[in-house]
Each structure stands twice: as structure tokens, then as C-alpha cells.
Structure 1
Amino acid sequence: MARVHGRLTAALLHASSAATMAWGYNAMTGSAFDAWIQTQKGGQLQFLTIQGLALAWVTTVLAFVHDVFPARQLKTLKRTLGMISMPLAFLISLIYWSLLLFYPDLIVPKFPIEPGPASSSSSELPPFRLGLDVDLALHALPAAGLFADFLLFERPYTRADMQWRAPALAGAMAVWYGSWVEYCATFNGVFPYPFLTESALPGRLAIYGGSTALAVVILWVLNGVHTQPLMGTVS
């Protein structure tokens, strides 16, 4: 009976988290900013927030499917994705809220009034701002939901996971995103985040490398404070 209760609780957490993340993404569609960004190379996928949101959503949906149809392969895949999505969600939240509070011009993009490729024109709208409910769904809920799942229903990762797999996965994600955003910028003329646009290549490489190291440290800390699942594993 306790196992059934734990599985139902897990399914409720996973379904509500996935639904809220999907709602947050859909709430952006139809805005002037969305119309403009879709004209650019890479569209919304230029943003690390959106890639992190997608990874968090897929991880959460896999967890929900595993709640309904338990299978070892699903569990293994979900835990592997979690080594990327959970620290990435925390990294995004940390960078976003810190810059939004203290240096908003470095994180909140501006965009031209006329849709089209970014240009040097001074004809710009004010920086695009999300509503607080959407902001929380995109920049707080993924980290909170994944960490709640980890604490309540997952075992800590192994020493081998922390020493080898987590750094390798974080490095692969950094290479992917860095290469992708640099490629998109060659077409768009700017980066999706002002702090990247204002940095020369050596500075951007330092940002990519520093962010990767921070993501690994975040996972080490989260894993270190976790000893056993509070509600038992959902296996």
C-alpha cells in the first residue's frame, strides 16, 4: 500500500511539473518578442533557458511514464538525463535571477520594432519582460521540480557518476550549446543574451567553461546533501 501511495504521489508531482513547464513555454507564444525571435536563426532554441526547459520537461515526462509503466530502462534513462537537466536547471535559475536582480541589462534582451534580423538600428522596444507567473514557470519550477523528485524518490548518484559521468555530460552539453549559439550568432549578428553579445570570444569561452564547472559543482552539492529518498524509490 505504501508503494502504491508513493507511486501516486510521484505521478502527481511529475504530471503537475511537466504541465506547468509546458504552460510556461506556451504562454510566450504570440508575443511580439516571440514573433521576432522566430525570424532569427535558431528561434527560441538559441536560449539556454529553453534548452534547459526542454531537458527538464523530457526528464519529468520520462519519470511520469515510469510511474505508470515501471521499467528499468526508463529509470536508467531518466537518471542519466537528470545528471544533465537538474544541475542545468539550477544553473539557469542562479544566473537568471542574479542578473535580473542586479544587472538586468545583461540578461533581458531588447529587440527591433520591425521583425527581421537583428541590426544596429536604434529603433528598439524596451527590454522584453515576462510576467512573474511565466517567469517562475520557466526559471524556477524546473529546478524545484527536479530537486523535489530527486529528494523524494531517487537514490543519490554513485561516486563514479559524480567523478566521471557528470563532468562528461556537462562538458558535452557545454560544447553543444556553445557551438550552437556561436553558429546562430553568425547569422543573427547578436547572441540571445546581452552578456554574450558584449563579450569577445575569449570572454565567451570563459563563460562557457565557468558555467560548465559551476554546473558540475552544483550537482556535487545537491548529491552531497541527499542521503536517501524521503518517500522511498519509485522502482
Structure 2
Amino acid sequence: MLELDSTAFLSPATALYALTAAILNLDLKYVFELDTFINRSYGGQLQFLTILGVVFSYITVTIGLMGHIMDSQSLIATKNRFLLIAAPVEVLISVLYGSIFLYDKKLLVPDNIDAVLPPLVDFGLHGAPSILLLVDYFVFTSNWIIHPAATFVLYSSLGVGYWFWTQKTYAMNGFYPYPLLEIVTTPQRIGIFAVSIIILFSIYLTLRKIHMAIHGKKLPVPIQEKAK
């Protein structure tokens, strides 16, 4: 039976997970409660890669929070595995959203959108998750040891899965969640997904190298102390 760890409430990792969970919860609550045509359409906010990423990140940090509070190594290990998806995906979202938004925000936001996100909510969805998850990875999490080939297959599967999901929502709604996907041809749309998968894999490799440069082959100090 799991027991509460009284020292966990004072740990920096627990504070980070609690803060991240609180931010993501507020942002998700805001967008899911909007009275917009998106929320009334098939798939709602879950049509967007951003929202899918935030939901998965919210699950990830909640598992991490419970793992530290309950002193459960199995939950912490599960969080670490989920982070392999959550952190690179959030960085990808920040990179794609930031670059495309600066180029032409109309490629991301439909002209007929009937709600504008406040700046704090916008940052909470597209910037804060990647920053907070990277802090977790570089400070509190051991480096990813999964073989890069397996990781590429995993990310490719996620990309293909999102492709089929966007095709399903398009068939039901008659529009894609992002205007960019509306104005390109099917081969170009496939190219966008393929390039995004390659960028995602490149982010994973870069983050792993940075982690190695910071810690070498050792675990971050907080985890080493926990293991003693």
C-alpha cells in the first residue's frame, strides 16, 4: 500500500509538478469552457495539436506529482516515460507556433474565430509547458536511454495518428483545425507532417545531448539523493 511521504511536500520537484499542473489545468479549463464554434464542432479543442499536447503534459506532471507525494518509484518511472513524448512535443509546439505566428498568424487562427486568447493563456498553452517540462527533464529526470530508432518509430506513429485524426475531424466538420492545412495540397500536407516528425526527432536528440552535457551519465542530483 502506498504511503504519503511528508518530505515530498517540500521538494523542488513536487513544487514544479504542482505549479505546472495548476497552470495547465487553468488553461485547459479556459479553452474547454469557451463558447466557440470550435468547441461545438466534432473533436472540440482536441482537434488542435497544442491542446492534445497540453492534455498529455497535464497527465504527465500529475503522475509525477502523485509519484513524489506517495514516494512511488513506479509512478515516477511512468512519468519519466511519458516525458519522452511530452517534453519534445511541447518544444515542437512552441517552435512551430512561434515561427508560424510571427510569419502569419492567419495560418494558425481562422478569420472567423469568435474568441481571442488572452496573452497569458496563449503563453500558458504554447510556451509555458515546454519551459516547465524542460526544467523537469534537465533537473529532476534521468536521461532517456531508449534507442533512437525506437524513438523515431514512436514519434512517427504519433504523427500518423494525428494525421488520421485531422482527416476524421475534417470529414465531420468540413474544415481543418489550422488554416495552414486548408490552403495546401494533400502532398504538401503530408510533407508538413513528415517535416514535423523529423523536427520532433531532432528535438529529442538535441535535448538528450544537452542532458548528457549537463549531467554526463549520472542522474540529476535530486534523484541521486532520493535513491540513497
TM norm. shorter chain > 0.5: yes
* RMSD, matched Cα: 1.9
Q: 2:192 — aligned with what? A: 207
- Give the drift of 1:11: 0.4
- Describe how 1:37-48 pairs up with structure 2 within 5 A: 37-48=38-49
Q: Aligned in 2, Cα 1:168/1:70: closer, same or farther, shift over 3 Å?
A: farther
1:184 aligns with 2:173: no
Q: 1:232 — aligned with what? A: 222
Secondary structure, aligned partner of 1:103: helix
With normalisation by structure 2, the TM-score equals: 0.87
Secondary structure, aligned partner of 1:176: helix
2:52 partner letter: Q
1:168 partner letter: V
Aligned residues: 214
- Give the drift of 1:168: 2.1
Paired residues of 2:39 and 2:45 also in contact (CA < 8 A)? yes
Match for 1:193 among 164, 168, 178? 178
CA distance in 2, matches of 1:11, 1:63: 8
- Describe how 1:1-235 pairs up with structure 2 within 5 A: 4=7, 8-33=11-36, 36-111=37-112, 128-158=115-145, 161-227=146-212, 228=215, 230-233=220-223
2:197 partner letter: T
Secondary structure, aligned partner of 1:232: helix
With normalisation by structure 1, the TM-score equals: 0.84
More contact order relative to length (CA 8 Å, sep ≥ 6)? 1
- Identity across aligned pairs (percent)? 26
- Give the drift of 1:134: 0.3
- Give the drift of 1:135: 0.6
- Dislocated runs of 4+, deviation >6 Å: none
1:232 partner letter: P
Give the helix-richer structure, 1 or 2: 2
Name structure 2 gaps, 5 residues minimum.
1-6
CA distance in 2, matches of 1:134, 1:105: 18
CA distance in 2, matches of 1:5, 1:177: 37
CA distance in 2, matches of 1:6, 1:15: 10
